Structure formats: structure tokens, C-alpha cells
Copies of this chain bind each other. A is one copy, B any other.
Amino acid sequence: MAQPEIEQFKVSTRHFNRIMIAIDDDDFISSRFAFDYACTVAKMYSVPLAIASVMETGDLNVFQSLDPETLAAHRQDVANDLNAYVEKAKAFGILDVVPLIGEGKPGKVIVDEMVPQFKPDLIVVGSETHKGARHQTIGSVAAFVTRYAPCTVIVVRDPSSSPKPTDEPSARQ
């Protein structure tokens, strides 16, 4: 006999009602697969999709971040990219697309500002595939969001970026 709560359990169909995709403006490759998946689910269930992009202010060095022109140009680039993603989602057939733009530490801005605002029940993030890294690693934003978000999180990996057989996993711990 199994544990009583397992014996009595009946599987229920579950789906998501509000989806948020976190775009990494500097990593199109890992964002792309995550974006495909987020759009697929939002379209399938006809639910709102928020597209979140955070301008990582730590990206700019001190000189640049003091230069208002450089900062304004960088802000405009991030906004243009976000608008392009919004148009792609609409062209795919998603009716309710919500752009969210922020500045700061991406994981923290997503969890502390954007999630309370949009209230997603699913967050989609890419895994940040670092070219040349020996081991595939989860990015710091994906790790932060997976750990601290109050809802379900899916970390989408490019199916073609699987670790090579020479990456011996047993050496890891």
C-alpha cells in the first residue's frame, strides 16, 4: 500500500492564467527559445502575456552612467528591442501583450517590482547559454527568479545546447 494521501489523490488538469516572459536584452539566443515557449502557452490558453525587460544599470561603467546621452541612447535601445518583441507576440496571435520595462538588478526588479504589478502564475526565463563555458550553467537571473518568485517558473533551454558527453557530470560535486 502507498501512503494514504497518494492513494486518495486524483490528478487535476492545471494550466496558467497570466504569463510573464523575462527577456535578456543582451542574450537573444537564450531569450528566443523562452519567448517561443511563452508565446505558445499564452496563445494556447488565450491569456495575457507580459514581456519584461530590465536595463541592467551595472552594465554601464561609471563614466558612461554619468553621461546622460549614453544612458538615454541605451534606454532607447532597450525600449526599441522590447517593442519589437511585443510586435512579434502580437503577430503570433496573442491579443493581450503587456510590455514591462525596468532598470537595476534584473532578478530583483522582476521579483520585487514586476511580479507584484502583473501577478503572473508562470514566469518563463531563458537559461543563458554562455558560449565556450565548459559546463552549461543556469544564469544568475534565472537562478534568482526560480528561487524567489512566488509562482511557477520555467527555465527554457535551447534543445541544441545540451552538454557534450565529455562534460563529465560526476566531477561536479
Contact = CB atoms under 8 A, between A and B. Distances in A.
Interface of A: 1-3, 5-7, 9-15, 28, 32-33, 35-37, 39-40, 43, 77, 80-81, 83-85, 88-89, 91-92, 108, 111-112, 121, 135-138, 142-143, 146-157, 159, 162-163, 169-170, 172-173
A151 B143 contact: no
Oligomer copy total: 2
A11 B143 contact: no
Contacts of A10: 88, 91
Contact of A28 (B6, B77, B162, B172): B6
Given A11-B88, A37-B14, A81 B147 contact: no
A135 B150 CA distance: 10
B83 A2 contact: yes
Contact of A6 (B85, B121, B153, B154): B85
A68 B135 CA distance: 39
A64 B1 CA distance: 22
A172 B148 contact: yes
Contacts of A2: 80-81, 83-84
B157 A155 contact: no
A142 B154 CA distance: 11
A157 B147 contact: no
A96 to B, nearest CB: 15
A8 B162 CA distance: 25
A88 B6 CA distance: 9
22 contacts: A3-B77, A6-B84, A6-B85, A6-B88, A11-B36, A11-B88, A11-B92, A14-B33, A37-B152, A108-B173, A112-B169, A121-B159, A137-B147, A142-B146, A143-B147, A148-B169, A150-B157, A151-B157, A152-B155, A153-B154, A154-B154, A155-B155
